[in-house]
Structure 1
């Protein structure tokens, strides 16, 4: 009987631990390799860099209390006919230190497509002043990529959300 109780308890503990791991993020990461593309120097593409402010946390009540946020980082192609190419998406913390780079090979985003990066609410590594730098290229005379951050958090009946837009820095 003791062995049966031990087995059942073990099963319950393992089930809870497995469920907790799955709840870290409700979205599956994009398979960046399936989006990678080789670009030739002869493609005559226009290059650019865009800065996007992102918030993993914001201050609440005082500078000593913060509120964690989930960030949805959208990389959008507003062109009807041409793909755009994102060469690098690098995430920085409040102090300007690189946290992670999502891909180092160019990826394509099809016309009118949106590709997203989700920063989980539990991931506080960016802090209150996190940001992204995106390096991109486009065909001449096409629209530049549009980068947007949507930060959100809910607690009980209270919700908090706001957006940021990218600005071209190079």
Structure 2
């Protein structure tokens, strides 16, 4: 008696359909443009504690930058990612990026990236015209293991 087993090789997950893409989005703003500036803080979790401070769960974080205006453009000029200790990990945006009305751009921090730790943060700088809503920043953290799933969100807080 012998046993034959076949296993289908699974394809790797494709790139997410709304991957964060900067190329071609940079824009120069005119000094005479009358724009208000602001900054927003967003807490993000690369890991969370489970059972004790010695056991953590790694998380995938999707950071959404949303223009909640129906007719007006907003601009994101900085998206800096900091770890639990306040050290800058990465600058995802260093120049002005155009965000069209009702458009969303995303940054994905993969589950294997533990650099942010349990207290990671983003700081965003942005510009918008008078009487235009500030952009909305939100993070969705998720982890799955077997039949267990964990997910939660955080919302940005305007700091300037």
Task: Determine if the TM-score, normalized by the shorter chain, exceeds 0.5.
Answer: yes
| Paired residues of 2:80 and 2:122 also in contact (CA < 8 A) | yes
Across the aligned residues of Structure 1 and Structure 2, the Cα RMSD in angstroms comes to 1.6
**Equivalent residue pairs, number:** 150
Deviations 1:51-105 (A, max 9, x none): 0000000001100111000000000000010111000100000000000001211
TM-score, L = length of structure 1: 0.84
Aligned counterparts, 1:5-20, within 5 A: none
User: Structure 1: 5+ residue runs without aligned partners?
Assistant: 1-15
Equivalent position of 1:99 in the other structure? 89
Highest Rg: 1 or 2? 1
Structure having the larger proportion of residues in helix: 1
Structure having the larger proportion of residues in strand: 2
SS at match of 1:42: coil
Q: Kindly indicate whether residue 101 of structure 2 is the aligned counterpart of residue 111 of structure 1.
A: yes
User: Structure 2: 5+ residue runs without aligned partners?
Assistant: 1-8
| Paired residues of 2:20 and 2:108 also in contact (CA < 8 A) | no
Question: Which of the residues 34, 45, 56 maps onto 1:66?
Answer: 56
| Paired residues of 1:27 and 1:118 also in contact (CA < 8 A) | no
Equivalent position of 2:150 in the other structure? 160
Q: How far is 1:167 from its partner?
A: 0.3
Q: How far is 1:27 from its partner?
A: 2.9
Q: How far is 1:34 from its partner?
A: 1.1
Aligned counterparts, 1:137-152, within 5 A: 137-152=127-142
Q: Kindly indicate whether residue 16 of structure 2 is the aligned counterpart of residue 27 of structure 1.
A: yes
